[in-house]
Amino acid sequence: MKADPAAPACPEPPSAAVGAPVSLAISQTARLHRIAAGRLLRDLGLYPGQEFVMMHLWDAGAVRQSELIKAVGLDPSTVTKMLQRLEQSGHVRRSPDPADRRASLVEATDASCALKTQVEQAWERLEEATLAGLDEPEREELHRLLGLVEANLCPQAREAVEQLCQEEGACEG
């Protein structure tokens, strides 16, 4: 489905969100940030979110698919689809876990090493675009405040991922 070029990228806030201005601002900012990230990642052949999978694999090495699902905090079906695309593009490799043949190990391929540098550079450009116009103390304060908000939301997100894993049985092993 193509985006409507006449639709505003920054629409007026919905009346139902008038009592939650901070939540609305975070939601809209996250949407716009994802759009900006998507533009940068598209040039690398990645979809938004796939860079988080790759970042985890570059840092952790081979991990069980179930561990990866929990680490990136996405539902199992989304991670499975991401891994299929990343495997098709040669960035990841999946293999049976020798310790438990029912589980799969996922790892970044050697070919993905060049992609790591490109992702780092894309995220640096995204950071600068995101924080343009803020001086260093404002950047530090924003980072501090967002850390507090993240800490408030993390327990709920962990519960949601655990619930999805239990419902889908995809995070076993």
List the structure tokens of 161. Answer: 């991922």
Element (H, E) at 96: strand 92-97
What pLDDT, on a 0 to 100 scale, did the predictor assign at position 50? 94
Query: What per-residue string of b and e applies to 120-153 under the rule 16 or more CB within 10 Å gives b?
Result: eebbeebeeebeeeeeeeeeeeeeeeeeeeeeee
The residue type found at 19 is G
Cα 90 to its chain centre, rounded Å, is: 19
Per-residue pLDDT of the chain (173 residues; tens, 9 = 90+): 455 666 666 777 788 877 889 999 999 999 999 999 999 999 999 998 999 999 999 999 999 998 998 888 888 889 999 999 999 999 999 999 898 888 889 999 998 988 999 999 999 999 999 999 999 999 999 999 999 999 999 888 778 777 777 776 666 54
* 72 CB neighbour count, 10 Å cutoff: 18
What pLDDT, on a 0 to 100 scale, did the predictor assign at position 89? 94
Q: What angle do CA 123, 128, 131 make, to 5 degrees?
A: 120
Cα 26 to its chain centre, rounded Å, is: 16
What pLDDT, on a 0 to 100 scale, did the predictor assign at position 141? 97
Radius of gyration of the chain (CA): 18
CA dist 128 → 36, 119, 121, 138 (Å) = 11, 14, 11, 13
What pLDDT, on a 0 to 100 scale, did the predictor assign at position 4? 62
SS3 43: coil
The model carries a pTM of: 0.78
The rounded distance, in Å, linking the Cα atoms of 62 and 57 is 7
